[in-house]
């Protein structure tokens, strides 16, 4: 069975908050993810965001969100075509890092968005997060401009379009 076949997504709920707080306490997550709760009642009801818990062989191991880039004023990706999405994610348990799971689940979710007609998917790692940037590039994302400061912090804009394809997901 391929790695991709062993990965599943489910909608995140408020019942996941303790798990997410635990993951966010990990040094490798804290280094790049702000210390705010990933969501609360108001965030769960926000139609601009889809929040996911990602599992490998039924073990939850990652958080992912995708969002409408045109849902916020003055967003770094508001120049993208209507219907474009942004993504953010992290792997929680340290023992799940460096095994290709990130590229795989990101590729699966990106492909699902393309299948739904999303024209561009963007992400915005911190320019110093070389591991994330390399993983996105292996997955088919390309750097789409210089690093810059935004309301959400310093970012390196990256994009992928259906024509460029989604990287390997085995």
pLDDT at residue number 2: 72
* DSSP 8-state code for residue 126: -
Provide the pLDDT confidence category of residue 38 given band limits of 50, 70 and 90.
low
Confidence at residue 170, expressed as pLDDT on a 0 to 100 scale:
36
| Average pLDDT of the segment spanning 10-36 | 86
Rounded to two decimals, the pTM is 0.88
pLDDT, residue 40, reads 65
pLDDT in tens, 94-105: 999 988 888 899
Reply yes or no on whether the pLDDT at 167 is more than 60.
no
Closest CA to 56 of 102, 89, 119: 102
**Mean pLDDT of the region 68-92:** 91
What does 4-31 look like in DSSP terms, one character per residue? GGGEEEEE--GGGHHHHHHHHTSHHHHT
Q: Give the mean pLDDT of 109-127.
A: 96
With 90 as the cut, is the pLDDT of residue 3 above it?
A: no
Residue 169: predicted pLDDT = 41
Domains of the chain (ranges; CATH) run 4-120 (3.40.630.30)
pLDDT at 33: 79
| Three-class SS state of 105 | helix
């Amino acid at each position: 069975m391929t790695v991709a076949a062993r990965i599943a997504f489910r909608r995140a709920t408020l019942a996941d908050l303790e798990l997410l707080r635990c993951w966010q306490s990990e040094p490798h997550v804290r280094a790049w993810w702000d210390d705010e709760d990933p969501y609360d009642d108001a965030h769960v009801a926000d139609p601009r965001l889809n929040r996911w818990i990602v599992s490998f062989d039924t073990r939850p191991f990652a958080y992912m969100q995708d969002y409408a880039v045109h849902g916020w004023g003055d967003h770094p990706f508001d120049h993208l075509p209507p219907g474009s999405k942004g993504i953010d994610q992290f792997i929680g348990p340290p023992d799940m890092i460096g095994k290709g799971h990130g590229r795989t689940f990101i590729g699966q979710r990106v492909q699902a968005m393309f299948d739904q007609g999303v024209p561009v998917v963007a992400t915005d790692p911190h320019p110093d997060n070389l591991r994330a940037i390399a993983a996105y590039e292996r997955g088919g994302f390309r750097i789409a401009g210089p690093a810059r400061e935004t309301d959400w912090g310093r970012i390196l804009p990256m994009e992928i379009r259906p024509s460029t394809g989604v990287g390997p997901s085995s």
